[in-house]
Structure 1
Amino acid sequence: MLSRKHKLFYYKLFSLFSVVRGYNILIIVIAQYLAAKFILAPKKGFLEVVCDGHLFALIFASAVAIAAGYIINNFYDAEKDLINRPKKSMLDRLVSQRTKIATYFTLNFISVAIASLVSMNAFIFFSAYIFGIWFYSHKMKKIPFLGNLTSAMLAITPFFAVFIYYGNLNSVIFVHATFLFLLILIREFIKDLENIKGDLAQDYKTIPIIYGEKVSKGLITLSVIIAILVTIFLISQYDLGYMRFYFYGSIMLLIISILILYRATSKLHYLLLHNILKFAIVAGVFSIPLLNIDAILNKITTVL
């Protein structure tokens, strides 16, 4: 049997894992490795990619910086989360704010220290990324629309560290990145509707609070239409292999989301939409190996 002291330690460890959203970080790490293997360096063997020390350093630096970002975001949102997510907030509060801040600075130091071992450019990239996360949590988050855009941009930024490392910035990568950015942006807009009660209590100036739910839903609809158009462009312009079925499914999920959105009247409906978008993002990560990368590369070579 574990003693009370040991139980408390494990509870705090689990609480810290909840604060840094370890499950999200794991998905991002997997996505970076899959993108490296199947998009950026398809001719390299799996072990060659996995055992690349510099790539590991960049991905590890990303994971640590993201974890630190979740901590500082949790620090600034502590009161709001107590209203919007009371159960999760109570778990997160097992770790003191002082411990969270100490962990935040430690993780950021580790991130830039590891990045500096790769190159000075990597050091500058992650220093700027860490500052961007802090500035978003401290200032940008409370600015309607601009805060949503910044959050979505910061979410995809770690992938550019891997893209730059391989020196591979072809058009298909930017189109895929645009699609991912739009999914995350739509999810951010939905989160504003989901968290409207806590945002009102803490005087956050989000889109549904300032302009109303109708305008917010219209903005989501516009973003969904753009995401569908980007998806159609991807399918029509590139031979995506079996991954095209993921994009067909994504179009269906986006259309279903809009139908649910205009019938949504409670937080539960918005939570359902949030989870649909999260599923679409995670499914996209695990669909990367289905890409017909040879056909894509041949098309790019032909165009050049």
Structure 2
Amino acid sequence: MGTENRTSAAPASAPRTFSYRISQLIGFLVGARFFMALLLTFALYVSTFFLFNQEENLRQFVFDFRVHGIIFCAVLSILAGGIINQFYDVEKDHLIKPFRTRLQSFLKQKYFLYAYIILNTVSLGVAFFISYRVFLFYLLYQFLMWFYSHKLSRLLILNNLTFVALTLYPFFGMLVYYRTFSGKVMMMAAFLFLMLLMIDIIKDTLTAKVDRIFGYTTIPIYFGRKTASVIAVFLLISTLLVSAVILYGIGFYRIMGWYFVAGFAVILTAVFQMFRNTRNARFITLNLLRLWIFIGILAMLADGIVQKY
């Protein structure tokens, strides 16, 4: 009887162990902002081939291993940045993102730190193999990611500007690599900068109470939610003007032209929502702008395919 009980109990423990390992894996992916890193990787490839790369065809691009190596370094550094950011924000995330924090709790924080060190080390190793300039570029990136998470994320205005700058940092690297400095590229960068800045400020209006508890000095806390909403509206109108300049440059007949035409309606909707000045309106605006950036990546992909082929 004792043997039978032990035999029947063994299989039951296996599924629990397997499900726990799966939970640990999911917790790690969520803690490392894996899905955000995946989106940024997709955006990097799309923008690199269809915006920055003006000379190489698809075959040359596919076999340009330096480009893939640079993007690979960026992805590892972004994952590492996500880990160190959640490490410093873990108490705040307990209140703002309880479900995500619960998933991350399946893995001890020390393992996240081990992964942070490994990801950064591998990234720098590959970068050094490519060139010492790439190595220095990503060494600076990793330092700024840590410094932002440790200190700058709590400082007024610098937190928003640094967050946006670090999000765009890998794209700047590809811009320098291809030396594609043009008015169109600069205006596209300005458009994306304004969109990301608005998203970050609006996000801060939704987390103001928790930010105050943990000592984060954000625009909504320092100036008030109404002032933050006015700033967001000003940025939306600025984005509208930048969109008009880009549209004038590329024309209405391209897919990206249609994107910016439709963007006028999206931005005006966002302005209307911000004037309502309710939590639900800000939440809708935040996700609308996030979705519009993703649609912009798809529009750039479709536009690039049509233009090149």
TM more than 0.5 = yes
Q: Is the 8 A contact 2:250 2:257 kept in 1?
A: no
Structure 1 counterpart of 2:258: 245
Contact 1:82–1:89 under 8 Å retained in 2? yes
* Structure 1: distance between partners of 2:217 and 2:122: 34
Pairwise CA distance, 1:164: 1.7
Q: CA RMSD in A?
A: 1.9
2-side partners of 1:278 and 1:154: how far apart?
Answer: 17
Q: Which residue of 1 aligns with 2:231?
A: 219
Matched, 1:254 2:267: yes
CA distance in 2, matches of 1:20, 1:51: 29
Structure 1, gaps ≥5 residues long: 296-304
| Post-superposition CA distance 1:121-158 (Å, at most 9, x none) | 10111001111111111111111212101101110110
Kindly report which structure 2 residues correspond to 1:262-277, keeping only aligned pairs within 5 A, or say none: 262-266=275-279, 268-277=280-289
Task: Tell me what 1:236 maps to.
Answer: 248
Runs of 4+ with deviation above 4 angstroms: 292-295
Post-superposition offset of 1:273: 1.9
Q: What TM-score do the two structures reach when normalised by structure 2?
A: 0.90
Deviates more, 1:285-294 or 1:132-141: 285-294
Residue 42 of structure 1 deviates from its aligned partner by 4.4
Would you say how many aligned residue pairs link Structure 1 and Structure 2?
294
Match for residue 153 of structure 2?
141
Cross-structure match for 1:206: 218
In 2, are the aligned partners of 1:84 and 1:197 still within 8 Å (CA)? no
- Identity score, percent: 28
Q: CA deviation at 1:294?
A: 11
Kindly indicate whether the alpha-carbon contact (under 8 Å) linking 1:21 and 1:67 is maintained by their aligned counterparts in 2.
yes
Q: Which amino acid aligns with 1:210?
A: Y
What is the alpha-carbon distance in structure 2 between the residues aligned to residue 245 and residue 290 of structure 1? 12
Aligned equivalent of 1:8: 20
Larger Rg: 2
How far did 1:293 drift?
A: 9.9
Change (3 A) 1:228 1:293: farther
Query: What are structure 2's unaligned runs of at least 5 residues?
Result: 1-10
User: What is the identity, as a one-letter code, of the residue corresponding to 1:282?
Assistant: F
Corresponding residue for 2:3? none
**Partner AA of 2:19 in structure 1:** K
Corresponding position of 2:134: 122
Q: Which region of structure 1 is more displaced relative to structure 2, 119-128 or 156-165? A: 156-165
1:50 aligns with 2:62: yes
